[in-house]
Structure 1
Amino acid sequence: MMSSKKATSLCIVVIAACLLSGLSGCHDVVVEQPKIVRPVKVMMVSQGDGALERTFSGTSQDAMDSDLSFQVGGRIIFMQAKVGQQVSVDEVLARLDPVDFELQEKQAKAQLEQARAEFIKAQADVSRIRVLYEKAVVSKSELDAAEAVYKTTGALLDAANQRFDIAKQNLNYTVLHAPFDGIVSDAPLEVHQVVNAGQTIVSLKADQQLEVVVGIPDVLIADIYRGEQVVVTFDALPGASLSGIVTEVGVDAGSSTTYPVTITLTERPVRARSGMAARVTFVLGKKKGKPIVPAVAVVGNPDTTTHVFTVDPETAIIHKKMVTLGPITKHGLTIDSGLIPGEILVIRGVHSVEEGMKVRILSETS
């Protein structure tokens, strides 16, 4: 019979062996980890409405900006215009010495009076000779000669009238008037200087309407039309957003690849000046029908390509789709190709998913 002490030792050995056996078997047990289902926020891809905004930089200028000159040459005897001066329509800006033009007008008037007297005499002669011819007192050749003189004096009278009108007009041209209300921007000449016809005397800018001229790329000019409403902002006037209307669309790009487009502001802020830097925002429709998606939904690749992730709504499986980007709008990025309306697009969690992954679609309120 085994003693109680030996029995106890045997039990300890057996238990230790069992424990060692159990511990050695722990390395062969595979514990299956639960799969993580990533939550994502999605949106349904819809067809864009074509409202694409593009902003172009330009420079403001006065809607009316004229270099004024005399239509005749002469010596300046009066110069009213000064740089920065506010002038009104028809206000006298400068005068030329009128003496020579007054003499020319008097001479032309005298020639006109002489031509008129000769015409009246010829008219009376032909009437008198016609009566005598009808009475067979004078010959037909005398009547013909009288009628020829009458026609000649009539032509001379017309020419004298024209010369007199030109002389009067030239005299009027010695006074330079403001053609519109405005501000003198340049007045380079002084009194007593002799000027030629067409030489700039005063530069005048209208102080009412303001224009902005921008250059539009050739690929977009077809979407710009006269009468289109635009939004104009100025760097020097923060917070001011002004409305404008396209008044001129260039038809020739010249040596550049942009076409000049002129926008007239419908209002003019007090602080707005000609020469200020401006930005004009157009709403274009060239990309009509293209989807527009949030920028956070688009992933850039090292090779400059881009992709998005869509979700199969039935299986909740992720699919990677390569896309081609179009213009940027205030609502997001235009997708030129790669997406079609109706697809479910991942817009949150794009950097945590990959092709074939199963996800959990969050509700709109999540």
Structure 2
Amino acid sequence: MNRYFSLIPVVILITTACDQKAPQVTPLPRMVKAAEVAAVGDSQQRIFPARIESGDSTELSFKRGGQVESLDVRQGTNITQGQVLARLNAREAQQRVNERQTAATLAQRQFDRFQTLAGRQAISKAEMDVQRASRDSANAALKIAREELGQMTLNAPFSGVAASVPVRNHQVVAAGQTVVTLTRTDLLDVVFSIPENLFSAFDIRNAQYRPIVRINSLPDRQFTAQYKEHSGSSDNSSLTWQVILTMPRPADFPTVGGVSGTVTINLANLPANAGREAAGGAG
């Protein structure tokens, strides 16, 4: 009998444990990109974090391979449009130009003689056509040789700064290998992200509307920018679109890239429904 009474506490303990609910696990908060909403009179503004970078960058290279004979720039060098940046060893290319120039000169002289004979009706039209074809072929070969010689020199297509120079003098480079990365110094790119509902309503291609840009390193000033381009699709994790604006580069803008700042978009410039949705979504 005592054996049965001794089992009662065990049964009670098991029953009590079964009635207890399992502890609930609090889900981790979802990370989202934040934007500030500021009331300005009767209108509202959305302020988005932005990254301000140097404008268009172009990787410059030779169309032909060869050995670098002279490299006239270093990283950080200011460049003017048309400036010679680098040259390849062009001895063979120059020799081809000389040879084809000689051949073109001889072909022209031969054509001139036959043209004189044709005026006297001393040769047939067919013979004259052969000489004309020979002259044209020699001139075409000379043009190609001159173009090849011109490709041995790398010139700056626009003014800017040499952001990087990954090659050295006397190095052998392949056709298409980057020699200088040239970045524009007269323009800046303003990169930021906006939510889908605001992007679909915002008339980004409207040249009359220019969002306000503030640069953290120039806190007492504000600038206007205009639309340049945007990403082809929204980001799946944040449901935002990346937009790039362009603006003139201030004279005192830091030489380094990747400076932080903000973009202010006035909701009053959007359709009424879009403005209410954007303002409500921010709350």
Q: TM-score, normalising length from structure 1?
A: 0.56
Listed as ranges, the matches of 1:175-194 within 5 Å are: 175-194=153-172
Q: CA deviation at 1:52?
A: 4.7
Deviations 1:132-165 (A, max 9, x none): 7xxxxxxxxxx7xx21232232233223222212
Which residue type is aligned with residue 229 of structure 1? R
* Structure with more of its chain in helix, by fraction: 2
Identify the match of residue 214 of structure 2 among 214, 228, 233: 233
Which residue type is aligned with residue 51 of structure 2? T
Identify the match of residue 62 of structure 2 among 70, 75, 91: 70
1:207 aligned onto 2:158: no
How far apart, in 1, do the equivalents of 2:43 and 2:125 lie? 78
Which residue type is aligned with residue 243 of structure 2? V
* Residue 218 to residue 114, structure 1, CA distance change in 2 (3 Å): farther
1:270 aligned onto 2:262: no
Aligned length: 234
* Residue 251 to residue 59, structure 1, CA distance change in 2 (3 Å): closer
How far apart, in 1, do the equivalents of 2:86 and 2:160 lie? 15
Could you list the runs of 5+ residues in structure 2 that have no partner in the other structure? 1-40
- Aligned-CA RMSD value: 3.0
Partner SS, residue 229 of structure 1 = coil
Verify the 8 A CA contact 2:212 2:265 in the aligned structure 1: yes
Provide the residue aligned with 1:316 in structure 2: none
Verify the 8 A CA contact 1:226 1:249 in the aligned structure 2: no
How far apart, in 2, do the equivalents of 1:160 and 1:261 lie? 53
* Residue 53 to residue 161, structure 1, CA distance change in 2 (3 Å): farther
Partner SS, residue 191 of structure 1 = coil
How far apart, in 2, do the equivalents of 1:271 and 1:255 lie? 30
Listed as ranges, the matches of 1:1-366 within 5 Å are: 52-129=44-121, 146-219=124-197, 220-223=199-202, 224-227=204-207, 228-246=209-227, 248-250=228-230, 252-253=232-233, 258-272=240-254, 273-284=256-267, 285-288=269-272, 326-328=277-279
Which residue type is aligned with residue 77 of structure 1? E
Q: Which has the larger radius of gyration?
A: 1
* Residue 57 to residue 111, structure 1, CA distance change in 2 (3 Å): farther
How far apart, in 2, do the equivalents of 1:199 and 1:79 lie? 14
How far apart, in 2, do the equivalents of 1:181 and 1:274 lie? 17
Q: CA deviation at 1:51?
A: 5.1
Partner SS, residue 271 of structure 1 = coil
Which residue type is aligned with residue 52 of structure 2? S
* Residue 149 to residue 196, structure 1, CA distance change in 2 (3 Å): farther
Q: TM-score, normalising length from structure 2?
A: 0.70
Could you list the runs of 5+ residues in structure 1 that have no partner in the other structure? 1-48, 133-142, 293-324, 335-366
Deviations 1:204-239 (A, max 9, x none): 112222121334444324422242211112344434
How far apart, in 1, do the equivalents of 2:223 and 2:155 lie? 33
How far apart, in 1, do the equivalents of 2:115 and 2:201 lie? 66
Which residue type is aligned with residue 252 of structure 2? V
Verify the 8 A CA contact 1:75 1:195 in the aligned structure 2: yes
* Residue 251 to residue 104, structure 1, CA distance change in 2 (3 Å): same
* Residue 156 to residue 250, structure 1, CA distance change in 2 (3 Å): farther
How far apart, in 2, do the equivalents of 1:279 and 1:265 lie? 13
Verify the 8 A CA contact 1:85 1:184 in the aligned structure 2: yes
